[in-house]
Amino acid sequence: MRVLGINAVFHDPAAALVVDGQVVAAAEEERFSRRKHGKRPHAFSAWELPERSARWCLQEGGIEPGELDAVAYSYDPSLVEPGLEGHEGEWERLRTLYARRAPAMLAEALPGLDPGIFRYVPHHVAHAASAALAAPTPGEGDVLVLDGRGESHSHLSGTYRDGMLTTLGAQRLPHSLGLMYEELTQHLGFLRSSDEYKVMALASYGRPRFADEMRRLVRATDDGGFSVGRVDWSSLAKPRGADDEWDEEHADLAASAQLRLEEVLLDLAGWLHERTGSRRLAMAGGVALNCVANSRLAADGPYEEIWVQPAAGDAGTALGAALHVAERAGDTITAMPGADLGRRWDDAELAHWLATARVPYDKPADLAATVADALARDQIVAWFQGRAEYGPRALGHRSLLAHPGDPGNLERLNAVKGRERFRPIAPMVLLERAATIFDGPLPSPYMLFVHRVHPEWRDRIPAVVHVDGTARVQTVDRADEPLVADLLAAFEARTGLPVVVNTSLNTAGRPMVDDPRDALECFGSAPVDLLAIGPYVVRRGEVFAR
């Protein structure tokens, strides 16, 4: 079964290809178009399909559009209920119109595609499949989905047995934890449906002194759902303009909403676990990208194992829709092999790009040692290796790397990337070394949990320690990432530190670097000392000395 998955209706348009139950490719349209999140989540943008990422997925799989058995679209317009049209009112009808016309529009973009093979998959079912069917034990265990909204709901809880989903709870709109957090994001001067992670970071600077008011308005219900009342944000803290400084009341409001989100998430997981007794929980939906809440659930919740889809936002529904259709057709689903599902270039292609750009470069005998030397000298390294990541996290394929022992590197990297000063940067560490430095869920290959940094290490790796003493860790398994593992080992041999700073290779407002041109443009425009691109290195001093 050859299934192309498509996400398009809200934001983060993406495509994924599943062949005979195996994930072949997945990519977000933003990496091709260079528009952050691909588009804004307006109803009148629902016509924009992930045409370039879909073409690339088919090319990667060696499949022509006419050879597909199904196209799985992660939204079912027939499920939109009258009167639940959301805050956009009449615009919602335009969204469903575009969804109904998507088969014909995609067939026009992919000549040879039969519109008759289109399959609509309910949005939250696609989210659920992206987690439970892609997890290390596919199709076994509980699943929890929380986001802004789907067709008429904002939440799904259920359980998988032998690949089959049984839905046990679903919260109807307008109640939505995701939309509540989006409203707060906008109130605090950030871009909603984009910058919610900034609110999570800001929360660490505040006290939850508005928690009682949040508890009065946001509550779990007896049926496994929740109720979200209208929050008068301005009565709690004044609105913040996008260019204004934040102050204590903004941080306190963020802390209060974050705490209440965590508490309700625990209630929802507890309700689900009481009905299934499962050991495993898989999670997806935009709320599942809240790594602080994930860690609270791992620490205080009832599940022994929690696995979060690395592309937990709407981009992941392209993969989930394809997996769902493949499973329903009888394919045996194989676990997601990792988040590196995007584009790649061989050494000859990379050398051609460098020659075309007319930049001096060389091919060191030991790339890991060369990069470790640069990092040990406190240089910033742009790291472009292998296939691009699927999802919002840089996981050692499209990364900026730095020395964790220099406390100034937090401010330095935030300046390079044009980020707010309060935002943390993350560490990556060999899996076998992680427990000696960090306390939290391990392994953590996708940066979806926060970990307490052991006190004796906080002064040794200050660049990656957040104000609350935590870090969002990526563990590196040598079997999965041998080159990154070699780099970490080489850096430790030079510095005594088994940790390297890892943040995404991009600048403010731009998607993560994806192709060699993006990498060269970022290297040329930002104060990065060295670019490691495939087996080659480009040194800033040599480029700009000419």
Instruction: Assess whether 324 and 347 both reside in one domain.
Output: no
In a domain, 218, yes or no: yes
Amino acid (1-letter code) at residue 22: Q
Checking DSSP bridges between strand 426-430 and strand 398-402, what pairing results, if any? unpaired
Q: What is the reported pLDDT for 416?
A: 86
CATH number, residue 516? 3.90.870.20
In a domain, 13, yes or no: yes
What digits encode the pLDDT tens for the residues 407-466? 999 999 988 888 888 999 999 999 999 999 999 999 999 999 999 999 999 999 999 999
User: Are 275 and 223 contacting, i.e. CB atoms less than 8 angstroms apart?
Assistant: no
Instruction: Assess whether 364 and 256 both reside in one domain.
Output: no
In a domain, 335, yes or no: no
Instruction: Assess whether 212 and 317 both reside in one domain.
Output: no
Instruction: Assess whether 398 and 477 both reside in one domain.
Output: yes
Domain boundary among 329, 359, 388: 329
Instruction: Assess whether 114 and 154 both reside in one domain.
Output: no
Q: Of 276, 310, 318, which Cα lies nearest the Cα of 294?
A: 310
Q: Which domain covers residue 415, as residue numbers?
A: 343-544
Instruction: Assess whether 226 and 95 both reside in one domain.
Output: no
Instruction: Assess whether 159 and 123 both reside in one domain.
Output: no
CATH number, residue 323? 3.30.420.40
pTM of the prediction?
A: 0.96
Instruction: Assess whether 99 and 158 both reside in one domain.
Output: no
Question: Residues in the chain with pLDDT < 50?
Answer: 85-87
Q: Which residues contact 546 (CB under 8 A, 6 or more apart)?
A: 360
Q: What is the reported pLDDT for 44?
A: 84
What digits encode the pLDDT tens for the residues 195-219? 999 999 999 999 999 999 999 999 9
In a domain, 163, yes or no: yes
- The total of structural domains in the chain comes to 3
Q: What is the reported pLDDT for 83?
A: 64
Category of 330 on φ-ψ map: left (φ > 0), alpha (ψ -120 to 50) or beta: left
